[in-house]
Amino acid sequence: MIKIQKEDFNSEEEINKIKDLHENVGAVSSFTGYVKNKNNKKKVKSINLEVYEEMAYSQFKKIISEAKLKWQLTDCLIIHRYGELDVNSKIVLVSSFSEHRKDSFESCNFIMDYLKKDAPFWKNEFYDKKNEWLINYS
């Protein structure tokens, strides 16, 4: 499942919605990313994430398909927020569902690495007296 949204989310509820659909899930690995209060030795006030939503959705589908070819996955969940986010706000949730932990661990990391580096999101970080557009990196 893929969700690209402005709204906050409840990680446990979102994971349980997917897990409840499948009887064979023995492992769920998840990563939740938050807005940090410091970056590049500067105090962060907030961020603004912009997204090319249609492209992001298409690319998320592709990366989930790739993960399902590499690992035995029952399902995957990606929730990525956009818009203005304060420090400590959730940005992203990636969850991989499988029968075995190794498949869920490795695939979750694979998907998150892709999102951090190549997803069509742009981050404008705000500090006390200025702001700065950041470059995606792993």
In the chain, where are the structural domains located? Answer: 2-134
Residue 29 has a pLDDT of: 98
Say what the pLDDT of residue 138 is.
44
d(CA 95, CA 28): 7
CB 35 within 8 A of CB 85: yes
Q: What is the DSSP letter of 135?
A: P
Residue 49, both tokens: 């994430």
Dist. CA 14–CA 123, nearest whole Å = 25
* DSSP β-ladder status, 73-81 and 90-98: antiparallel
Across the chain, which has 138 residues, the per-10-residue mean pLDDT values are 97 96 96 93 94 94 97 98 97 97 97 90 91 73
Tally of CA atoms within 13 A in the half-sphere of 76 that contains its CB: 27
User: N- to C-terminal Cα distance for the chain?
Assistant: 23
Q: With respect to CATH, is domain 2-134 assigned 3.90.1170.40?
A: yes
Please state, in angstroms and rounded to a whole number, the distance separating the CA atoms of residues 96 and 40: 30
CB count in 10 Å sphere of residue 48: 15
